[in-house]
Amino acid sequence: MTNGATLPSGGVSGLRTRFAGFIAPALSPERSDRLARTLGLRSALGTAGGPADGRTGPGPLALLVTDGTTAAADSLWLPPVAAWVEPAAGDEDGGGVAALLAEASGTDLYVNLTTATAHDLHLGGRLLTAIGARHPLSGHRRDDIELALHEAVSNALVHGNLGVGGMKELSAQELERFSRDLGDGLADPVLAARRIAIAVRIDPPQAAPAGPGPAGSPSDGAAENRRALATVEITDQGAGFVPGRHEQAGASGRGLDLIGSIADGLEIEDGGRCIRLRFRL
């Protein structure tokens, strides 16, 4: 990935992203310099308004996020930025950031933020912006994928990391309880510091088959394979859950039936703390 010893090099199996530098709009020059030495990357001259001036040369950049405002600009979710990571408190030498970027190197897009920061960013829409910048999406498909991402991210943040129970009915009392629990969770420094990690891999369409199907035209499966495939893994640090047969019970549950009706694949792992979605683009 770089000339530094802390990040994978081009010979590593599974390497997808070779970072050219990082943007750290809210960090002091001194801390940015220490990170540059640790990571073996150059610090790009970026601000909260957009990525940098090209000082790092061509190649993907990582944005180091300190709160929601440092990643609020839409331009920061467009190429060349390919990773959005929040340094842990006390990670002065950058070892934690190096570990996150090493993980990011195996993905096309990577997010690792605290719950507090991710909640402020409305992360589902940001993810869609990043994916859509790499692969154009039609209007209806774009809206559907945004809805599924919003539901899945909200599940991880609200029900997972913050442990807020869903609304059991549509009533003012339940809405008040849900809003109160959400506010209390975000105000709890332990819960707000829990992490959400999102790994996105976008695979190109497969080659068309050599000949037509039995009826003289490609099969439905072959046609699907000629569309790019985005795999999105969303992981939280909550208590997990056991998915029921139907998750629509209640006014504000996890919405897995809705997500599954949009995604081309849905898998739940790690006791409910990881959901893997696949979307044909």
CATH number assigned to the domain comprising residue 251: 3.30.565
Q: Are residues 30 and 157 in the same domain?
A: no
Mean pLDDT score of the chain, rounded to an integer? 85
Q: Are residues 69 and 174 in the same domain?
A: no
Number of domains comprising the chain: 2
Edge-to-edge strand ranges of the sheet holding 42-44 = 42-44, 21-23, 61-64, 81-85, 109-114, 195-203, 229-235, 274-280, 265-269
Q: What is the per-residue pLDDT for 248? A: 44
Which of 88, 106, 124 corresponds to the end of one domain?
106
Q: Are residues 241 and 149 in the same domain?
A: yes
> For 187, how many CA atoms within 13 A lie in the half-sphere containing its CB?
6
User: Among 1-10, 84-93, 140-149, 245-254, which range has the highest average pLDDT?
Assistant: 140-149
pTM (2 d.p.): 0.86
Q: What is the per-residue pLDDT for 36? A: 93
Q: Are residues 223 and 166 in the same domain?
A: yes
| 61 in a structural domain | yes
| 119 in a structural domain | no
Q: State the average pLDDT over residues 16-42.
A: 92
Q: Is pLDDT above 80 for 1?
A: no
| 115 in a structural domain | no
Q: Are residues 256 and 146 in the same domain?
A: yes
Q: What is the per-residue pLDDT for 251? A: 40
Q: Are residues 89 and 172 in the same domain?
A: no
Which of 53, 86, 106 corresponds to the end of one domain?
106
Q: Are residues 256 and 156 in the same domain?
A: yes
Q: Is pLDDT above 80 for 83?
A: yes
If pLDDT is split at 50, 70 and 90, which confidence band does 219 have?
low
Range of the structural domain that residue 86 is part of: 1-106
Q: Are residues 268 and 176 in the same domain?
A: yes
Q: Are residues 159 and 253 in the same domain?
A: yes
| 111 in a structural domain | no
Q: Is pLDDT above 90 for 252?
A: no
Which of 106, 131, 154 corresponds to the end of one domain?
106
Q: Are residues 179 and 229 in the same domain?
A: yes
| 26 in a structural domain | yes
| 129 in a structural domain | no
| 27 in a structural domain | yes
Rounded Cα gap, residues 242 and 268, in angstroms: 9
Q: State the average pLDDT over residues 81-97.
A: 93
Mean pLDDT lowest among 207-211, 245-249, 257-261: 245-249
Note the pLDDT tens digit of each residue in 201-215.
Answer: 999 988 666 555 555
| 125 in a structural domain | no
Q: Are residues 194 and 243 in the same domain?
A: yes
Of the two residues 262 and 28, the one the predictor is more confident about is 262
Return the structure tokens found at 132: 């859509």
Burial 200-235 (b: 16+ CB within 10 A, else e): bbbeeeeeeeeeeeeeeebeeeeeebeeebbbbbbb
Q: Are residues 238 and 188 in the same domain?
A: yes
Contact 121, 113 (CB under 8 A): yes
